Structure 1
């Protein structure tokens, strides 16, 4: 009986509930980093290359729906069902700010210049917080036609892209006027909206469709029908020649950007895939699932026999974490349940 060759990912354990959002930092002098949001209320920071656990941000009292890092990977932000968005020191794990809302917060994003934080959620209001004046009232853009599911910046912080939980389409807002300047029309609600690293394309996932839009002229460039309902899609950042998509069938599929042909299918998750993202260099990509795990897949062919065990990298402290040179400069951190910061160590291996 022939053994089949299968792709083996790095499996990152630690979350106790579904992983609903992933975000890679740009490449920094210390490497690049991956932050994950989960319904377990505790976002986690990892080495983006190895998946090694660095620390857990503790303080939310509800599911965390969205997370992000600023361009220097020095601060993290998270949006939660506890009606707050929080900003964290990504080196120590300390909470820097907590911005209270009147309903569930579903989306958060740092501006490119790192000075502002954008939030959105069930209040149907986009808020812009000035991180240099965190005590000042935020600017509000309150004419979203529905509950906000995703929100991000583009055009050097001059434009906001948002989508709604209960309506199709993605809306582009002029930051200065606070008005919608364009709507990218889709039949189903947009569950994932991602701006490519070079700023050329907007990638959206809606229903069983992945679409690519011109990020400057807003025209539809390509649309592809997927084999199942997909929740997230991401374009390869370096060459732009392939994209990934994940959804309800628990598989992470790779497609040719130019033709839409499926060129790979990674199996391993035990629940629907809620989020997929390429690393900033395109050499790997991560997927987060209902099963509570993050899997990091190599873009190139890394195959083993099907009956061999896959690697396990990273944990919430219950499994040993190996910390390589890229993360040695980042202090391990963990905030205890009573809100007090535990003693910080040089690495996270002891946490």
Structure 2
């Protein structure tokens, strides 16, 4: 499984995202730049320039028409995927740490940081998809402040106007964005900050990773914990393999935080765990520092990891990956 090394960033990666078709991979970084790549060969398609700070987060709609990004320059930006043009910019008092489209591309949710006397805020904007997309409402459709621990990650669930959030305290919660009410929560989902949240393709369950060295799969309606994967290193990202019974975990502490031996052993490797049996089945090495973000192709044919070293490693799976049955054959029931 020879990786394709994508060199288009000068600073650590913050998030990777495949589009729904899977032919494009989007990356953002602390170097203020967003890049688009062809996923089959790693060729860089283009760059989205305009941010004046770390781009923390990016998401693309299911039609690959609009891209949305959140940055440390306190802006949320809407981009035309094909042209690279910035269509609209929303400005806030603090940095935007997470953005996500809903299922029908009509809304985006964003989290802004708690800082300088401002509370953590969750805003939902309605996206005007008419004409060229440059005419957007400056005011959010909904705005509320989560009470207690600040939110770090979020996504729309399958239920209309309901989002799932991960928090600094380790809590995972469900909010009705129309009322701003938190109507379901699991206070002990994790023991430390939730670092990533990725949905299954049908949005019925999600996986979260945390600084407590644990990843968990949750039901997005009830927040019931379905599976738990316990590691010995801080986790920065977790992703679901759509066609095989695996989850992919990545993390590690920056140099100086951990011992040299632990860094050599496991910290900077993408780790594959069996989704059902909760046991580790393999590791893929390559990064020279912590893995900050992992994304899996929607068809499950490849995955990409982005590191603190500024590199993206794009791996296309060999036949052996699809044929492997580490714990015997599991037949899916209809």
State whether TM-score is above 0.5.
Answer: yes
CA offset digits 1:125-172 (Å, max 9, x no partner): 1011122262341120223433332121111543111223x3211221
Q: What corresponds to 1:246 in structure 2?
A: 250
Count residues in correspondence: 292
Instruction: After TM superposition, give the deviation of residue 226 of structure 1 in Å.
Output: 1.3
* Aligned mates of 2:314, 2:102 — CA distance in 1: 26
Change (3 A) 1:157 1:44: farther
Q: What corresponds to 1:161 in structure 2?
A: 164
* Aligned mates of 2:103, 2:291 — CA distance in 1: 28
> Structure 1 regions of 5+ residues with no counterpart?
1-6, 304-351
Q: What corresponds to 1:125 in structure 2?
A: 121
* Aligned mates of 2:146, 2:92 — CA distance in 1: 16
Q: What corresponds to 1:284 in structure 2?
A: 302
CA-based RMSD = 1.7
Q: What corresponds to 2:290 in structure 1?
A: 272
* Aligned mates of 1:159, 1:227 — CA distance in 2: 33
Instruction: After TM superposition, give the deviation of residue 277 of structure 1 in Å.
Output: 1.4
Q: Does 1:200 align with 2:204?
A: yes
* Aligned mates of 2:76, 2:185 — CA distance in 1: 26
Q: What corresponds to 1:214 in structure 2?
A: 219
Q: What corresponds to 1:15 in structure 2?
A: 9
Q: 1:97 aligns with which of 71, 88, 91?
A: 88
* Aligned mates of 1:279, 1:144 — CA distance in 2: 35
Q: Could you tell me the TM-score, scaled by structure 2's length?
A: 0.83
> Structure 2 regions of 5+ residues with no counterpart?
115-119, 129-134, 253-266, 322-334
* Aligned mates of 2:147, 2:285 — CA distance in 1: 37
* Aligned mates of 1:151, 1:13 — CA distance in 2: 29
* Aligned mates of 1:74, 1:177 — CA distance in 2: 30
Q: What corresponds to 2:28 in structure 1?
A: 37
Query: Counterparts of 1:127-146 in structure 2 under 5 Å?
Result: 127-132=123-128, 134-138=136-140, 139-146=142-149
Q: 1:25 aligns with which of 19, 23, 26?
A: 19
Q: Could you tell me the TM-score, scaled by structure 1's length?
A: 0.79
* Aligned mates of 1:302, 1:48 — CA distance in 2: 20
Instruction: After TM superposition, give the deviation of residue 32 of structure 1 in Å.
Output: 2.5
Q: What corresponds to 2:117 in structure 1?
A: none
* SS in structure 1 of the partner of residue 192 of structure 2: strand
